[in-house]
Structure 1
Amino acid sequence: MKHRIKLLLVSIAFPPKKDPECIQTAKYLKYLSNTEELDIQVLTACDPVINMPVDMSMNSFSVRNSGVFKKKITENRYLNFLLRKIGIEQFPDTKFTFSWGIRRFLKNSKIQSPDVVYARSYPISSLIAGYWASIHFNKPLIIHFSDPWTLSPLHRHSLSYQRKMEEWELRLIKHASAIVFTSELTATNYRVRYPEYKERIHFLPNVYDDADLSLNESQLRNEKLKLVYTGGIVGNRNPEPIFKAISSLPEKMLDRFEFFIAGEADRDNRELLGKFNHQSVSYLGPISFLESKKLQASADILVLIDNHFDDANKAMYLPSKLLDYFVQRKRILAVTTPQGTTSNTLEEGEFGDCFGHSDVDGITNFLRKAIDEFDKKNHSYFIRPDVPKKFSASLNAQNLLKIIKHYA
């Protein structure tokens, strides 16, 4: 009988927890676990985890494994808030206790010695736990950065945190046999930062689940043009540019469309949503993974709101929700950095229309055009091309398998 490679996945983000990283982990693992070449064990965190609510609909991902082992994280929401207020940063993140005592945990668990350790972040604590697991078992380590760490343009840290971060990132990259990033631009930037390790750096994108490819095209059954946004509303990733565009529309158009927003919102953005008390806008709050998919399927236009960067080279993120949007084959309205990763991907595939965060006139004209095409019942305007195979979970799971087999 052919030897099956024993893989140990180390990731705090694992179903039935729900956040964008959990969903991506589940998609990759669904197709990895379908192969007879792997025997997968999982090391994750006990439920619940702060900011990763349990969502039983996440169990719709069938992830075959030979054991899920859960380590408790000690974390307090109020302490986290207090430490942030007084400027104390927990390293590498608030879930740092996941990596504490990991070798003792492994020694006392029933986890069998793997051939390869595969650790996914965010949070970064997953990678540090994977590092210690790799040392404990003396096995190769593959690390998967869903977002950049030291090169992240989103975060500003204290000098002491910055030094620790740089030290640990280099330690992880030196130790890892392979390093995976989710955008070509991020991978390129890290090859420049660490030229001596550039051969270890791979690109594997965020993915869609092949089973979600939509066969039922919308027939414009909605009475009003329906725009849908699903996902977090945090910091400058907020709907204010779209709200300003809506305010610029002629009065006669305001009852011809509706805009549904679903997802977590931080305090400032809850205030923004409350202030913009407009007849066309409905904030649904957090919803489950399956409810999110149903809401996306009901839309005529899907809305993406990206982080705001002045420099396109910093816009290296491709939001994972975009892959869920792609499979719906609906036109996408994206508020994003021109010539960044999101903008280039959408425009290359003709999936939708991209506007900068300050381009209120452009967004307004887009809405006017969309309402007009909807009223004309121009079905073809709202249906976009098939999603490229390069974002398929089954294909990229096979690409990841090749990396695993190379080091097993």
Structure 2
Amino acid sequence: MLRYASTDIERVEIELDHQNPRNISVRARFCEEVLRIFKESKRKFDFLISHSNELVSHEAVGKIKKLRPDLPWVAYFGDLFVRNPYIRHMPGYPLVAEDSAIERETLRDADLIILNNEYQRDLMFTGNLATFKHKAVIIPHCYDPAMYPADVVPKNDKFVFSHLGTLYYVKRTAEPVLRAVDRLLEIYPEYRGKFELRFYGASPCDSDRACHEAMRNPSHVRFLGPVSYSESLRLMAESDALLLIDGLFSEADDGLDCNPFFPGKLTDYMGARRPIASITMAKGPTADIMTESGNLIADSRLDRVAYVLKRYIDRKIQPKYDVYDNYSVGKVAGLMEDAIKSILKV
């Protein structure tokens, strides 16, 4: 990734327990080292920047901000934490209270908050944090066209959908798609053998594996191993269509009427310039982009998912690639530059 950076980046590694990073002592050590490195550096810094993966990055930079309150602080949140609907499905997940406090303190103390979509912003800046909403700037994920192989076109003997990336064991699973494959072939048996779904990434969860084994047409779905990032971009470009699966939430179970996550994989997909079929909610950044670009979305209803798959197999979907272009690094980098310049002291 750094090979494509347009500037020199000084990278410093801190030796810690990487097998068990989510504990208080490891985080304290990380913050101490960050402070030490900052104090010993001879460089003149114009601003501070932190990110939410992991949230200890915000904690460490918050300590530098207390040491140097004159330095503007830019805090980037890829995802929200306090309102993250997945947390309740992970009993015993460590440092929930601590990370919730870090998120609130960062929204309060940072000079600029960069988020990637409006749904995320509106869920984060509520209650007594609403007064800080003016500090938020929306800058979407982006892709770099230079990272994709040139002149690659699909040359498949059947229509290939590819899904790249991690699925979860709850809310965001392959099950709706697997069941829809059987439903599609039940209605249109003449489509048997004409398409294939390929899932690249970590091993499927037990429920997805069981669902696959129970399929009437399991040969239409393949679970393949993880690949490198550069290889994933090539596989995207070689696919006939790309498959995106978002979390499906509800107000009753999760207190959400939208999916507030903007998956970085969606921008990777757009960079490959292929049609994209999305399993997602009707409200959220994915749905907005899919609708604007002329792609189709489906929720968990089998007939809807089967219909969407068929439309792509029939090559009826021709995306508006100029919408994809809005997420290229050439368009988005300027937004980031303008946002940072807005808080620099000149």
Task: Quickly name the TM-score band, shorter chain normalised.
Answer: 0.7 to 0.9
Q: What is the alpha-carbon distance in structure 2 between the residues aligned to residue 119 and residue 235 of structure 1?
A: 30
Q: What is the alpha-carbon distance in structure 2 between the residues aligned to residue 174 and residue 222 of structure 1?
A: 52
1:71 aligns with 2:14: yes
Aligned CA-pair RMSD: 3.0
1:244 aligns with 2:179: yes
**Alignment: residue pair count:** 329
How far is 1:261 from its partner? 0.8
Instruction: Please tell me the residue identity of whatever aligns with 1:317.
Output: F
**Partner of 1:313: helix, strand, or coil?**
coil
> Structure 1 pair 97/321, CA: closer, same or farther in 2 (3 Å)?
farther
1:211 aligns with 2:142: no
> Structure 1 pair 175/263, CA: closer, same or farther in 2 (3 Å)?
same
Partner of 1:377: none
How far is 1:128 from its partner? 1.3
Q: How does 1:6-405 map to 2 (within 5 A)?
A: 58-65=1-8, 67-76=10-19, 90=23, 97-108=29-40, 110=41, 112-138=43-69, 139-156=71-88, 163-193=97-127, 194-211=129-146, 216=151, 218=153, 221-236=155-170, 237-248=172-183, 249-250=185-186, 251-265=189-203, 267-268=205-206, 271-272=209-210, 275=213, 278-311=218-251, 313-350=257-294, 352-357=295-300, 359-371=301-313, 373=314, 381-388=316-323, 389-405=325-341
Q: What is the alpha-carbon distance in structure 1 between the residues aligned to residue 331 and residue 164 of structure 2?
A: 26
> Structure 1 pair 283/276, CA: closer, same or farther in 2 (3 Å)?
farther
CA deviations 1:207-249 (Å, max 9, x no partner) are 122435898584x632101111001021232211111011221
Kept in 2: contact 1:257–1:280 (CA 8 A): yes
Q: What is the alpha-carbon distance in structure 2 between the residues aligned to residue 368 and residue 142 of structure 1?
A: 45
Instruction: Please tell me the residue identity of whatever aligns with 1:176.
Output: A
Q: What is the alpha-carbon distance in structure 1 between the residues aligned to residue 342 and residue 305 of structure 2?
A: 48
> Structure 1 pair 198/339, CA: closer, same or farther in 2 (3 Å)?
closer
> Structure 1 pair 293/269, CA: closer, same or farther in 2 (3 Å)?
farther
Instruction: Please tell me the residue identity of whatever aligns with 1:363.
Output: V
How far is 1:91 from its partner? 5.7
Q: What is the alpha-carbon distance in structure 2 between the residues aligned to residue 185 and residue 288 of structure 1?
A: 30
Q: What is the alpha-carbon distance in structure 2 between the residues aligned to residue 222 and residue 100 of structure 1?
A: 53
How far is 1:385 from its partner? 1.4
The alignment-based identity, stated in percent, is: 20
> Structure 1 pair 289/115, CA: closer, same or farther in 2 (3 Å)?
same
Q: What is the alpha-carbon distance in structure 2 between the residues aligned to residue 259 and residue 159 of structure 1?
A: 32
TM-score for both structures, normalised by structure 1: 0.72
Partner of 1:17: none
Partner of 1:13: none
Q: Which runs of 5+ in 1 are unaligned?
A: 1-57, 81-88, 375-380
**Partner of 1:132: helix, strand, or coil?**
helix
Q: What is the alpha-carbon distance in structure 1 between the residues aligned to residue 66 and residue 247 of structure 2?
A: 36
Q: What is the alpha-carbon distance in structure 1 between the residues aligned to residue 194 and residue 73 of structure 2?
A: 54
Kept in 2: contact 1:301–1:331 (CA 8 A): yes
Q: What is the alpha-carbon distance in structure 2 between the residues aligned to residue 231 and residue 132 of structure 1?
A: 34
Instruction: Please tell me the residue identity of whatever aligns with 2:267.
Output: L
CA deviations 1:1-55 (Å, max 9, x no partner) are xxxxxxxxxxxxxxxxxxxxxxxxxxxxxxxxxxxxxxxxxxxxxxxxxxxxxxx
Kept in 1: contact 2:112–2:136 (CA 8 A): yes
How far is 1:101 from its partner? 4.1
Q: What is the alpha-carbon distance in structure 1 between the residues aligned to residue 212 and residue 16 of structure 2?
A: 34
> Structure 1 pair 67/166, CA: closer, same or farther in 2 (3 Å)?
closer
Q: What is the alpha-carbon distance in structure 2 between the residues aligned to residue 177 and residue 145 of structure 1?
A: 14
Kept in 1: contact 2:178–2:212 (CA 8 A): no
Kept in 2: contact 1:304–1:332 (CA 8 A): yes
Q: What is the alpha-carbon distance in structure 2 between the residues aligned to residue 136 and residue 261 of structure 1?
A: 47
Q: What is the alpha-carbon distance in structure 1 between the residues aligned to residue 227 and residue 148 of structure 2?
A: 21
> Structure 1 pair 134/178, CA: closer, same or farther in 2 (3 Å)?
same
Kept in 1: contact 2:158–2:195 (CA 8 A): yes
TM-score for both structures, normalised by structure 2: 0.83
Kept in 1: contact 2:82–2:124 (CA 8 A): no
Kept in 2: contact 1:182–1:203 (CA 8 A): yes
How far is 1:160 from its partner? 10
CA deviations 1:225-278 (Å, max 9, x no partner) are 111100102123221111101122144422111111101246436744763672
How far is 1:393 from its partner? 2.1
